[in-house]
Amino acid sequence: MLVFRTAITSFAAVSCGQGQDKVYGLGKCRGDVSSKECYTCYDNKISLEKLILSIVFTNDEEVRDFEDFDQELGAILRRNRGLGKGEKKLFPSVTLYALVQCTRELPQTDC
């Protein structure tokens, strides 16, 4: 059930069972992944490269003002409203890049 629902809309939340035997599943594919790729990825359960829920890469070696960095990051994320990308030149040698895609069950204020 999770595989089919996720492939159709790129997002699905399902539950099965009752009481202590109840289990929950959340399926999500990136916005740039086709329905076929999404289905194949979940159906095979082997190819997880486009199924990763969150990846964070950071390199803050050149950041001198973390408060400014955090403010600019917050501004980029708010502008994108849970889906999109942005960039901001902070210093001549430092550019902040952001990519965000929140799950649909989160209100925009929590994203």
- The answer to whether position 81 is within a domain reads yes
Domain co-membership, 39 together with 70: no
- The answer to whether position 35 is within a domain reads yes
- The answer to whether position 56 is within a domain reads no
Q: Give the model's pLDDT for residue 51.
A: 44
Reading the chain (111 residues) residue by residue, the pLDDT tens digits are 667 777 777 778 888 888 888 888 878 887 777 888 878 877 766 444 544 444 444 555 666 677 777 787 777 777 766 666 778 887 787 787 777 777 767 776 766
What gap in Å lies between CA 60 and CA 106, rounded to an integer?
28
What gap in Å lies between CA 94 and CA 11, rounded to an integer?
35
- The answer to whether position 57 is within a domain reads no
Against a cut of 0.85, is the pTM above it? no
- CA 97 vs. chain centroid, Å, equals 15
- The answer to whether position 52 is within a domain reads no
Q: For residue 93, give the DSSP letter.
A: T
Q: Give the model's pLDDT for residue 71.
A: 80
- The answer to whether position 50 is within a domain reads no
- The answer to whether position 55 is within a domain reads no
Q: Give the model's pLDDT for residue 56.
A: 46
Q: Give the model's pLDDT for residue 108.
A: 67
- Look up the domain containing 76 and give its range: 66-110
